[in-house]
Chains A and B, each alone.
Chain A
């Protein structure tokens, strides 16, 4: 691919098992939403973009470079995914926030920075609070804080509304959305909620049965 013509992601002739079949798709910068019913292959798209899985055939390019020519760990550190049901690591809130920095061999942030991010995502707990005692919504907020601290280039957000109450889902999407806008980052999310798709996205891609069926813009 020529570097001056690339999108954020270019998907070319990608198949993943019998779940996905995408002949061609370009994903630009900003906020993109894959919208479609449960089981339509949306989460598999995010996992492919995060390189947690690889296509059975075809190629995916990130900023013009084929993913198979990049280091998978480096890529995942740039394109971070927030799972639908994020898993907490054993220990405290602080342990969880610092874990990803230890993976990167980076110095862990100061407590003030960690507390600020917790406040930002609306999680009113001490850093020493054990994660086992958090509710589902609180865990999701902590997972969001964990991702925000990493300052990735692209946020991948998986069905933020499915496992959460409306308030938690709103906080998570709104927080990320504001960050993406203020820091000129990109966000790609999947959802089956039409209102979320329309409210936040500048690019909606409709998915059904593992195929892209249409593209529509919320401001159209």
Chain B
């Protein structure tokens, strides 16, 4: 394996040409997204620079409390991102359910991956724990976000269908069953689609990173398969938790729509 090419400041700076190109496109088309583009580029750069320094410290000083603390922070930020995205439509009850779904869905799968699939030793080794947690939490966040979006939209647009089912004696679960199933389907499809294209249409980020770092492609693929299945599990679990508990927040104790 060749050793990795270290990127110089000017090489990284050259990559910002792509931001300039995108800015020219949005400006020339009169698309009002230039501020967001600049802001997201600055934030991405700053966040990654800070994260890299933090990771250097964390990797040099493995500590179970720091590892757990970082994972809790990542999860909390993911929950905050979802709740903020649906500000205005979000209820306290639904926010609690989102927290539960992320904690048990993503958390449960992460523990299984770390302890059973990869068998990290010591278990809190941040070199493994933190990047894997990032992928699991990030993908669960996207899945839960999609599920919440579908649930909120469907409970509003199909309110009359739910109400008709209640009138005819359906339980809230029965009245919402179709919405729950369709929301689950929409939330899990991006993960299934990415599994379909993986290795042919694109090489996933983690695998690419490992190969760039000099790891054998077969080892990188073994990790990628394990992580991808973990992502599938965490998305499915967190999405079904949010939907199975989330629909209840639209009903009161008398099985009436709120």
Closest to A103 in B: B170
CA distance A44 to B207 in the complex (A): 61
Chain A interface, number of residues (Cβ within 8 angstroms): 25
Measured in the bound complex, the distance between the Cα atoms of B256 and A147 in whole Å is 20
Could you tell me the distance in whole angstroms from the C-beta of A62 to the nearest C-beta in chain B?
A: 14
B166 touches A76 (CB 8 A): yes
Which residues on the B side are within 8 Å of A68 (C-beta)? 254
Chain A residues whose CB sits within 8 angstroms of the CB of B174 once the complex forms: 102-103
Contact B161 A104 (CB under 8 A): no
Residue of A nearest to B162 (CB): A87
Q: Are B168 and A103 in contact (CB under 8 A)?
A: yes
Contacts of A86 in B (CB 8 A): 164
Residues 156-199 of B contacting A (Cβ, < 8 Å): 160-161, 163-171, 174, 178
Interchain CB contact under 8 A, A76 and B167? yes
Q: Looking at the assembled complex, report how far the CB atom of A83 sits from the nearest CB atom of chain B, in whole angstroms.
A: 6
Give bound CA distance, A51 to B255, whole Å: 9
A123–B163 Cα gap in the complex (Å)? 24
CB-CB under 8 A from B169, the residues of chain A are: 73, 76-77, 80, 100, 103-104, 150
How many Å lie between the Cα of A112 and that of B208 in the bound state? 63
B254–A51 CB distance below 8 A: yes
From known contacts A52-B163, A89-B161, infer whether A80 and B256 are also in contact, taking CB-CB under 8 Å.
no
Q: How far is the CB of A106 from chain B (nearest CB, A)?
A: 11
**Closest CB of chain A to B1's CB: distance in Å?**
56
The answer to whether A54 touches B254, judged by C-beta atoms less than 8 angstroms apart, is: yes
- Contact partner of A52 (CB less than 8 A), chosen from B160, B161, B178, B256, is B256
Instruction: Give the complex CA separation of A90 and B179 in angstroms.
Output: 12
A52: chain B residues at CB < 8 Å are 163, 166-167, 256
- The answer for the CA separation of A90 and B161 in the assembled complex, in Å, is 10
Instruction: Report how far A54 CA is from B252 CA in the complex, Å.
Output: 11
* B residues near A77, Cβ cutoff 8 Å: 169
Query: Please, how many angstroms separate the alpha-carbon atoms of A138 and B255 in the complex?
Result: 30
Q: Are B161 and A80 in contact (CB under 8 A)?
A: no
Most chain-B Cβ atoms within 10 A of its Cβ — which of A72, A77, A99?
A: A72
Pick the residue among B168, B171, B255 that contacts A100 (CB under 8 A).
B168
- Contacts A51-B254, A72-B254 given; indicate if A103 touches B163 (C-beta within 8 A): no
Indicate with 1 or 0, residue by residue over A165-192, a CB within 8 angstroms of chain B CB atoms: 0000000000000000000000000000
Q: State how many angstroms separate the Cβ of A144 from the closest Cβ of chain B.
A: 12
* Residues of B contacting A99 in the complex (Cβ-Cβ under 8 angstroms): 165, 168
From residue A79, how far is it (CB to closest CB) to chain B in Å? 9
Q: Given B163, B164, B165, B256, which contacts A72 in the complex, CB threshold below 8 Å?
A: B256
Which residues 35-54 in A have Cβ within 8 Å of B in the complex?
A: 50-54
State A72–B168 Cα separation when bound (angstroms): 11
Q: In the bound complex, how far is the Cα of B164 from the Cα of A104, in angstroms?
A: 15
- The distance in angstroms between the C-alpha atoms of A81 and B168, with both chains bound, is 7
Contacting residues, chain B, for A90 (C-beta < 8 A): 178
Taking Cβ atoms with an 8 Å cutoff, the residues of B that contact A are 160-161, 163-171, 174, 178, 254-256
A-to-B contact residues, CB < 8 Å: 50-54, 68, 72-73, 76-77, 80-81, 83, 86-87, 89-90, 99-100, 102-104, 146-147, 150
- Known pairs A76-B167, A100-B168, A103-B165; list 15 more (Cβ under 8 Å): A52-B163, A54-B254, A54-B256, A68-B254, A80-B167, A80-B168, A83-B167, A87-B161, A87-B163, A89-B165, A99-B165, A99-B168, A103-B170, A104-B169, A150-B169
